[in-house]
């Protein structure tokens, strides 16, 4: 999909058209605790998207670092729900298979998503194992920390699914159907 098509998709399917109201004041980036670590702060990210440079926007680590603190939303003078757009851009990046070469955060999210879909919950071990499969060197670097946590019984091995797993899976199926239909 080219940049123009990606922009149209973001604006129409993911309600990104709201960012047309952005006045580039920078209050979002200024209030974001993670901005110093982001490739682009929210202000710049929206400018890229608005200009149609969607591939660059989707390759950024910005939305993956967002911790949904809503500081930016509180500060935005145009009432743009910035956090929602971060989720939308994450979904788009996954859906379009676009990510920066070597980006690890999407894999961490994927490691988290799998057990949640299966059990409605995660355990640290499940997430770590799934992530380690894709990034074994990272896992080796953290092995001593994992051992320390295990010794202190801070690593949960056993999986305790949510009580109503059948109901939970129905919700997930419905969510997927709605996603496809939208
Ligand atoms: S919600 Fe996300 S983008 Fe907004 S301030 Fe918090 S971390 Fe930054
Ligand atoms: S705070 Fe709102 S208006 Fe200002 S740059 Fe961020 S998104 Fe745009």
Domain boundaries defined on the chain: 3-96, 105-181
If 0-12 CB within 10 Å is exposed, 13-18 middle and 19+ buried, where does residue 29 land? buried
Q: What is the pLDDT of residue 153?
A: 87
pLDDT of residue 180: 81
For residue 19, the ligand 2 atom closest to its alpha carbon is 7
Tens of pLDDT, residue by residue, the chain (182 residues): 799 999 999 999 899 999 999 999 999 999 999 999 999 999 999 999 999 999 999 999 999 999 999 999 999 999 999 999 999 999 999 988 898 878 888 999 889 988 999 999 988 889 999 999 999 999 999 999 999 998 998 888 888 899 999 999 999 999 989 888 87
**Ligand 2: which residue has its CA nearest to atom 7?**
22
Sign for the CA dihedral angle at 61, 96, 15, 8 comes to positive
- CA dihedral 119→124→128→131, nearest 10 degrees, is 50
The protein residue whose alpha carbon is closest to atom 4 in ligand 2 is 25
d(CA 77, CA 45): 17
Closest atom, ligand 1, to C-alpha of 68: 1
For the CA of 32, the nearest atom of ligand 1: 5
Instruction: Measure 71 CA to ligand 1 centroid, in angstroms.
Output: 6
**The domain 3-96 is classified under which CATH number: 3.40.50.300, 1.10.1060.10, 3.30.1310.10, 3.40.1180.10?**
1.10.1060.10
Taking the centre of ligand 2 as the mean of its atom positions, its distance from the CA of residue 147, in whole angstroms, is 44
Task: Pick the ligand that lies closest to the CA of residue 69.
Answer: 1
């Amino acid at each position: 999909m080219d940049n123009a098509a990606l922009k149209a998709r973001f604006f129409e399917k993911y309600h990104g058209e709201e960012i047309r109201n952005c006045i580039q004041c920078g209050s979002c980036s200024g209030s974001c605790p993670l901005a110093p670590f982001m490739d682009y702060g929210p202000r710049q990210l929206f400018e890229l998207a608005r200009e149609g440079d969607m591939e660059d926007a989707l390759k950024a680590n910005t939305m993956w670092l967002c911790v949904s603190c809503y500081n930016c939303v509180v500060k935005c003078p145009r009432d743009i729900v910035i956090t929602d757009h971060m989720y939308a851009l994450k979904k788009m990046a996954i859906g379009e298979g676009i990510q920066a070469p070597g980006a690890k955060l999407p894999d961490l999210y994927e490691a988290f998503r799998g057990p949640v879909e299966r059990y409605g919950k995660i355990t640290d071990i499940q997430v770590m194992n799934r992530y380690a499969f894709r990034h074994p060197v990272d896992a080796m670097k953290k092995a001593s920390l994992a051992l320390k946590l295990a010794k202190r019984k801070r690593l949960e091995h056993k999986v305790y699914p949510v009580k109503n797993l059948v109901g939970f899976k129905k919700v997930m199926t419905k969510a997927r159907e709605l996603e496809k239909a939208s």
